[in-house]
Amino acid sequence: MPHESVAKGFSGVWLGQSTNFATVGWSKGSDRQVAIWDSRKATKPCTVQTIDVSSSALSPVYDADLCVLYLVERGTKTFMYEVVKSDPWITAVGKFEAKSTQSGATMLPKRVCNVMNCEVSRWLYATSNDGVDVVSFFMPRKDKTIFQEDLFPPAECGEPAVSASEYLSGKAIVPMTKSLRPAGVKSVYELSEEDGGRSRARDQMRHLGNAPEAASDGSSAAGGKTQIFSEGNLMLAVEGFLWNSWQEAYLSIQGRTLYVFQNKDAAVPLVSIPLDVKTDTGLARPVDDEPTQLEVAVCQNGKLVGRRVFKANNSADRNSWILSINQAQEQALIAPRASEAQSSSSTSTSSSDRVTDDDSSASSNVNYHLNGYLLKYTEGYFWNSWQRQFFSVDGGVLKMQASDSATEVTESILLDKVTSIYEASNIENANFCFKIATPTRTWTLQAPDDETMQKWISTLEAVSRSLKAAKADDGDEDAADIDDDNTSSNVVEGYLSVKTGLWSMWSRQWVTGVKTEVLTFKNATSSEPTRRIPLNQVKTIDISDKDVELAFMIRMIDGTTHHFTAQVRSERDEWLSALQEMRTNMQGTVDMLDALTIDLTQLSTVQLKAIEDALKNVIDPNKVKAGGQPLLLRINAGKRFVRATCVALNLSSLNLDSILILDLGAQLIQWNGTKASRMQKAKAMDVTTRIRQKERGGNCVLHVIEQGSPEEDPSKSNPAKLFWQHVNGGKFVSQEQMNAAVLSDIEKDDIVKLYRVSDKKVSLIHQGKPPSKDRLNSKLTYVVESGPMVMVWNGKSSTKEAKKLALHTAQVLQANILKSGSSFSMVLRLMENGETTLWKECFRDYPGELPISMQRQSLVSNISGRKDQKPIDIARMHSEERPAAARTFSTAGGRVQVWRVDDYHKTPLPEALYGHFWSNQSFLIRFTYKEGNSDRVILYFWQGRGSSINEKGASAYLTKELGDENKEVESKHVRVPQGFEPTDFLAVFGNKFIVHLGPYKEKWNTVDALFGVRGSTELDSYPHEVPIKSSSLHSHHAFVLYSTKGKSFVWIGKQANDAESSRARELGASWSATTITEGNETDEFFATLGGKQGYTPNASARYQPKLFTFSGVSGTVECNQEFEVCQDALNARCVHVLDMGPSTVYVWFGASSGVQDKKIALQAAVDYVLQSKLGHNKDSTKLVVTKAGCESELFKSAFRSFITTSTNPVWEQPLSEVQKEYLRDVYSYAELISDDLPAQVDRTKLEIYLTKEEFEKLFHMTKEAYDALPHWKQLNTKKAIGLY
């Protein structure tokens, strides 16, 4: 027994609204203990945990919002425990120790917490010196701009919910609460999980269980452990006249009700069991002497009216269902009933509906509550009638009652079972009617007016869609495919002649085709269909062989045929078109294995490597980025969308109506056809920008070639030369020689097919215009077929079997494309969070994508106001010092594990290679160390400069998965880009850290290599591989030359520091290298480097380079120092100033940098030299301008490792010459309309460069009058004179 030392006393606290409570006390050995009890069986505790040995008393305080139990002692310590509702019941999560002794403490109300800083609790501690300390506890969250609603549910507002007399009379109450969400702030539930949001449905289910992971499919609990079920199959006991029997049933917990259905597809329950009733014990309990049976109490108006008995497959499932139902009962009693509050606050019983929304979040549609009077069409024995009933949407259920004051629910419809909701016509001359269809029945309802009808339809659709989306979040494959289009738009209905009966007689019936199925009724108002034709079981829909004018037939997969006849041919054609489109959109539930001739049994014997080898033209993002796999993208103007697709790299892909983008890795060459539209050009700009910024990190140059311009001639332009070399073997094709017709396959490129792949099923879930990205589910795998492209997308939680089947599906689809006569097809493999531009182009709503549509868009100005330019602080540029790198932990005795990212998986690195990294690879590092008596874990993910965007994305989520493997030990995740290694990271590997060029190679020492050693301390002077040539040598640093055949060397530059020399010698010693100093090289040394060409000794004094960034993204150009002088610090959208010492200062122009950035940076560089106290002066210091892709070896030598694939010649100009052009602010009209306009001219405001006289002569008005014109009028005026 716990707390055996009763003499010392003990304290307790109720754990929220549950039946559990906690106590604290002492054992006989003076051990302080905490125990958890269930008040329903308090003979022994659920668990007892020993805290420590102390005589100080503990006071328990419980935070029901976070399920955290605080134990505050009369001393300095506060212990924190997380409380759950099943084993292990309580888990220690932390300890706070105050600096001064405390005599008491109290937790303040949640409404005083700073919720935007994730302050989860605030305390007042009374100290021994008669003072009060305020202590806050915070939950670590990255994004402090959104409201973390999962941490801050509605809190008690401090207002009384009942009067004193009501309280004393024993009235059941729910405390008054208010939302803590600040006005105008987005909730974490309003964001997608990709953007850092959370799933409300998943959190609610986890909170319901508060320990085990929610299982929504009712599957068996593994290993006999309990799970939390929300729905599943059981057997229901049915009482008979002579004996009882068992009937199959499907149970579903929805809000405050347990529904029992005949099967999973049924929408109307056999039994509805209220959960929000108070009982001494839980509603569910086991049946004595029956290990698989349970019984559930059925109560009405607080009184027991009966029990329902169910039978599970095994005792583990029985226990799981008992736990699930009883915890759902607890949640139903705690949660406020918003719809009832709304009803009780309103005394009106008019026919108008009432709508409330518990949450301002548009994404939480399951919380909508709508009620009001409607008419329901009821079929009678002698005649039919309309009945007025009160309808209410409570959570995910549509309830029907005789009136708004009635307590009995006459009928319920679960909205997640609804297949369609649509406006109805021809209902006995009744207006404002709509229908609700489920797999077993259809209801016809009438609203008082059109506005009310539309409100009911839209709300019911929203609730139904949200419920299905919540199921999709939890991995329900059938719910994962949610239609993007409005439900009511996918309806076709009317009277047709239908073959019925044994003798196949024709009868006139009402036929409805609605999204998922075709239903036939006796008439337009019938609720029970006479025939149900699921579209996912349809084989073909064709014109009838017997009556080609008016009839059509639907052939089923099982061989049956349904015949229909219309009145006129046009009506028949409309039915054919509508049903065929619905069938195409419903193919997602049809298994496509037979259609694709995929044999799962045979596939199980095939190795994944064999499938990979069979694929042709596989796109490797690493090769594309390095320029080793050129790609040709085409911007097509489809019927509805402007998209980019991959096409064959030959002349057949060119036409006058398209735009081509040749991707050469470091260069993008855009070729604009003469008939390409402005929308295509806008899309091309969007695509090239995303490739350069998102996939290449800004290290990519764009060249634009207009068809028919002089730049298109390969003899006059290097980009044109490269373009025609790749597209047509170097042969130029003029505009006159090119066929002006649009290629036929452009129509095909506008069609996107999306396949969903699970372990044993392939489904075509979409065919047509680009679908929504919301169709993708992290637990599944998808294949996209778009024109000649086949792409495989693996969700981060998808299985290996699904990935293998998806890759084989891509193999089959590619083979089918090539068999159809196409000479070109490519395959692209992707991982979630590693999507490329090509993949995103197949969807219509990826974040950051420019939405190009074929319709007029409203014009909205998003231009920020201009800020006044502040002068650059030159003194700060000279004085700012690198902040000291502080060590945050000791590596002594630590344990390290390393994995490399390989094909979206982590592969352990051999221990002999720990410390070796490759620039084209990403790695995961787990370092475990001791802090006191506790283990601490840091997870690093090191991303090489040349690793693909897929690998970088995979490294991030694999790190998260690695951290989730051991949740008992909290882990810190740190991203480490190459060149930005922090001191702690380097200390983990000590003198073993080394960076190689290129992809991972286990036997890296089979080729010659040159390693540079540069830095200021022993830790940061690590070896990094550089191109093996003499020009890589630099007098300021040390180098190690590794040779596989001859002698290895350690080369010490004349001005290398002690740290560099020591580290180089240490590395060379492991290879028995010979140490030489600069100026004493042997012929063998330079022979290994390929000769002495390019090597130039540097006699200047050693100087630590300084790099500054000039950027105007904030509206004014600002200067900031980059303390890591590495290649990744260079930004293509910025201008950089590189101080290499008193001898040279560079100004580097990014490929996309702005004119104003360049002007400010040029002048700042001049001022930097003039005001320098470090030896710079205007006479001896060279001020040089260079640009991206044209850097000299001297410029590159300032960086630890500078890798470029550019073949452009070196471009350097004296700063004074360049500055003259940028300071020029007046140009003639002739210069402004010429093709070779200087780069520094703002092409959107050409008119500002005209003189006053020339401006007035051309515009026939003054500049002041022109500035007063509306923007559209200014544009038209400029166009009229060609200045646009």
Here the tokens at position 1006 are 């089979």
Give 1221's contacts (C-beta < 8 A, 6+ positions apart). Answer: 1238, 1240
**Nearest CA among 562, 420, 557, 439 for reference residue 493:** 420
Q: What is the DSSP string of 211-225?
A: SSPEESS-PPPGGG-
CB of 892 within 8 A of CB of 919?
no
Q: Reduced to 3 states, what is the DSSP secondary structure of residue 1266?
A: helix
Cα 1034 from Cα 1098, distance rounded (Å): 7
> pLDDT below 50 — which residues of the chain?
6-7, 201, 205, 208-224, 336-367, 482-489, 639, 740-748, 851-866
Cα 272 from Cα 815, distance rounded (Å): 53
**pLDDT value at position 348?**
35
**Nearest CA among 786, 794, 787, 797 for reference residue 756:** 794
CB of 635 within 8 A of CB of 595?
no
Here the tokens at position 1068 are 């060379």
Here the tokens at position 155 are 């809190």
Cα 795 from Cα 782, distance rounded (Å): 8
Q: Reduced to 3 states, what is the DSSP secondary structure of residue 1127?
A: helix
Q: Report the largest interatomic distance among the alpha carbons of the chain, rounded to a whole angstrom.
A: 114
CB of 639 within 8 A of CB of 721?
no
Q: Render pLDDT for 363-399 as a digit per residue (tens, 0 to 9).
A: 333 446 788 999 988 877 677 788 899 999 877 788 8
Residue 392 to residues 259, 419, 1061, 1222, Cα–Cα distance (Å): 17, 19, 80, 70
1182-1187, strands of its sheet edge to edge:
1118-1122, 1106-1111, 1135-1139, 1144-1149, 1182-1187, 1212-1214
Here the tokens at position 1149 are 């122009």
CB of 1038 within 8 A of CB of 1060?
yes
Here the tokens at position 1281 are 């004179």
Give 1061's contacts (C-beta < 8 A, 6+ positions apart). Answer: 1038, 1052
**Nearest CA among 51, 43, 41 for reference residue 78:** 51
Buried-state track 471-510, b at ≥16 Cβ within 10 A, e below 16:
bbbbbbbebbbbbeeebbebbbbbebbbbbeeeeeeeebb
**pLDDT value at position 310?**
93
Here the tokens at position 532 are 């149900």
Here the tokens at position 738 are 């090119």
Q: What are the helix (H) ranges across 211-361?
A: 315-334, 338-344
Q: What angle do CA 989, 994, 995 make, to 5 degrees?
A: 130
Q: Render pLDDT for 1062-1102 as a digit per residue (tens, 0 to 9).
A: 999 999 998 889 999 998 898 889 888 888 887 878 777 78
Q: How far is CA 1198 from its chain centroid? A: 38
CB of 3 within 8 A of CB of 26?
yes
Cα 190 from Cα 147, distance rounded (Å): 10
CB of 790 within 8 A of CB of 783?
yes
Give 174's contacts (C-beta < 8 A, 6+ positions apart). Answer: 161, 334, 336, 337
Cα 108 from Cα 114, distance rounded (Å): 12
CB of 233 within 8 A of CB of 260?
no
Here the tokens at position 1215 are 């700063």
Residue type, 883: P
Residue with tokens 């052939």: 555
- DSSP E strands in 875-933: the ranges are 895-902, 905-908, 916-918, 922-931
Here the tokens at position 259 are 């529904």
Q: What angle do CA 292, 295, 297 make, to 5 degrees?
A: 165
Residue with tokens 């030299």: 1169
**Nearest CA among 193, 191, 233 for reference residue 216:** 233
For 332, phi then psi, to 5°, come to -65, -35
- DSSP E strands in 379-432: the ranges are 385-394, 397-401, 411-414, 420-424
Q: How many residues does the chain have?
A: 1284
Cα 512 from Cα 520, distance rounded (Å): 6
